[in-house]
Amino acid sequence: MEKLKKFDPAKIKRYFANEIESRHEKIKQLEFQSEQIHMLPIGSEIKEKEVQSIIDIKVGDNWDDATSARTIVIKEGIIKEIR
């Protein structure tokens, strides 16, 4: 980018400095999470994120059953269980 002379060198340096700092912060966060995970007992489950989805319902369905919390257990990128 610097050799093309299309961009201000100061802006390029600022951009990459910000990007490097952002990546350092992500590394620190991942290291902290790794430390926390190693303190958990084996077999513990971790709630990583929530996902909203569309469900099919029809007349006569039990509303509580249809809207109750559902859990998908994923291990190493593979769905292991839906409950």
Q: Is residue 78 part of a domain?
A: yes
The boundaries of the domain holding residue 62 are 9-82
Torsion, CA 44, CA 49, CA 51, CA 57, rounded to 10: 30
For residue range 52-77, what is the model confidence (pLDDT) as tens digits?
778 788 888 888 777 776 777 778 88
Residues in the chain: 83
Alpha-carbon span 13 to 24, nearest angstrom: 16
Q: Is residue 1 part of a domain?
A: no
Residue 73 — φ and ψ, nearest 5°? -95, 120
Can you read off the two tokens belonging to residue 25? Answer: 């912060």
Domain count, the chain: 1
For residue range 3-56, what is the model confidence (pLDDT) as tens digits?
777 788 888 889 999 999 999 999 999 999 899 888 988 888 777 777 777 878
Q: Is residue 75 part of a domain?
A: yes
Q: Is residue 77 part of a domain?
A: yes
